[in-house]
Structure 1
Amino acid sequence: MALFGFLRRKPAVRDAAALADFIDTQAAFLVQKGIFEYARARAGHYAKVLFHESDFQAAVEVSRWRAWPLGVAMVVEMVEGELRPHAAGELPVLQAALTATALAVFDRYPVPAALDAGTWAAARDDTAHVVERCAMHPVKRVIDVPEPYTKPYFALMPIHPKLRGQDFDTTRNYLRVALCNIHDELAERIDADAVVASLVRGTG
């Protein structure tokens, strides 16, 4: 019954296609929730008024589309760390396939109206190097993954810099906790061996 739909478990992640959907939805959730919660907290009692202002809505559109690639990068790095122990000697192939998956997720969307083509192309190029950067160091703790992304993410908040106060640490803590929660969901839903096999064999 639809009434009890919230009790149903989310579908397992068993192949590259399901992994791509997970990356897409979780990246969007990660960055957009942070943007809206931060703006609401800073606006306080004026939040309802602010959220109906056309200038603010336009600023949010820019923020969320510029932040989404950062969300993709964080989720992909977390996923790479989850899958790496299951690569069984095929790590380079796995990493190349994961890069292709990340780019396929990126290419689901045309250039957003809120951004110019050059900005979007630069974000795509950075996405292409996420897994390459992962390969240069041991798997990070999930709580440490957001560290290099926090400063550029915080800079995208649709609130004037003079009004942000000492909120950088709050934003860092949000990303850490949120990404850990996303990892917990991934760990619960993923069949890592099946996903690695799907990526390595190029099957979705």
Structure 2
Amino acid sequence: MLSWLRDRLRPLPSREPGELERFLDRQAAFVAQKTVIDYCRVKAGRNERQTFADPDFRAALNHCRWQTFAAAAGDVTALAEAWLRPHAPGAEAALARALAAMGGRILDAAEAPAEERPTLDAARDGLGRRLALLQESPPASADRLALEAESPLLATLPVHPDQRVGETPAIRGALRFHIVSTQQEMERAFDAPGLSRELRTHA
């Protein structure tokens, strides 16, 4: 009885492009922030409060978060493209254009500091080309999609490389875990055929 009631009360999967845009925006921010901050908290250990209060560390942390967010916005958009593409036979290019525009709006709306804006603008400008290149190969699932966030994450983490020797696989694993979780949430929250159709209609 309770299982039946839960099923009845569960919201129907959405096919609204606006809801997908808000979802991708939230997930890009979550992927960047969760991956970076969780790792830094583990490294700081008992010194977490002191470390996170240090102005230099906070500046480096914020830089890492914005650099990672710029790439993560493209990654979650690419993830959506791969998931929706099988539902857009013959209209793949229109789907890619709609999603590139969506990712661009997410990056444009981000309240980034002025010094971070060139990175977000470059990510926006390259998103259309990235999706077009991805469409030259079969769609990649979340566990296989090449993640552009990996490079800036590792390059800007506010922990010296000497202090994270051997930890790169764990950092990459955390990033991948959040991308896989994003796909799982997307599959639960959205109606892929209907959403693909709506995106192509308004491309």
TM-score in terms of structure 1 length: 0.86
Mapped contact 1:146–1:175 kept (Cα < 8 A): no
Q: Amino acid of the residue matched to residue 32 of structure 2?
A: V
Q: Please, which moves more after superposition, 60-69 or 143-152?
A: 143-152
Give the C-alpha shift of residue 50 in structure 1: 0.5
| Partner in structure 2 of residue 61 of structure 1 | 62
Question: Per-residue deviation at 1:166?
Answer: 1.4
Distance across 1 between alignment mates of 2:128 and 2:54: 36
The match for 2:145 is: 145
Tell me what 1:132 maps to: 132
- Between the aligned partners of 2:141 and 2:75, the Cα distance in structure 1 is 12
Give the structure 1 partner of residue 181 of structure 2. 181
Which residue is equivalent to 1:196? 196
Q: How far apart, CA to CA, are the structure 2 residues paired with 1:47 and 1:9?
A: 39
CA distance in structure 1 between the partners assigned to 2:138 and 2:77 by the alignment: 15
Q: Which runs of 5+ in 1 are unaligned?
A: 1-7
Give aligned-pair identity as a percent. Answer: 28
| Offset, 1:11 | 7.7
The separation in 1 between residues aligned to 2:164 and 2:114, in whole angstroms, is 23
One-letter amino acid of the structure 2 residue matched with residue 143 of structure 1: D
| RMSD, aligned α-carbons | 2.1
Map 1:82-93 to 2 at 5 A.
82-93=83-94
> Structure 2: which 5+ residue stretches go unaligned?
1-8
Give how far 1:122 is off. 2.1
Q: Would you say the 8 A contact 1:59–1:158 is kept in 2? A: yes
Q: In the superposition, relative to structure 1, how do residues 116 and 107 fare at CA in structure 2: closer, same or farther (>3 Å)?
A: closer
Matched residue pairs, number? Answer: 195
Amino acid at match of 2:96: Q
Do the aligned residues in 2 keep the contact of 1:83 with 1:196 (CA within 8 Å)?
Answer: yes
Cα distance, 1:30 vs. partner?
0.6
The aligned residue for residue 102 of structure 2 is 101
Alignment of 1:14-163 (within 5 A): 14-109=15-110, 112-113=112-113, 115-163=115-163
Q: CA deviation at 1:149?
A: 3.8
Flag as ranges the 4+ runs of structure 1 deviating above 3 A.
Answer: 8-13, 116-120, 146-149
Residue aligning to 2:5: none
Deviation of 1:161 after TM superposition, in Å, equals: 2.3
CA distance in 1, matches of 2:166, 2:114: 28
Instruction: Quote how far apart the aligned CAs of 1:116 are.
Output: 4.7
More displaced stretch, 58-67 vs 149-158: 149-158
Question: Matched residues in 2 for 1:68 and 1:117: separation?
Answer: 11
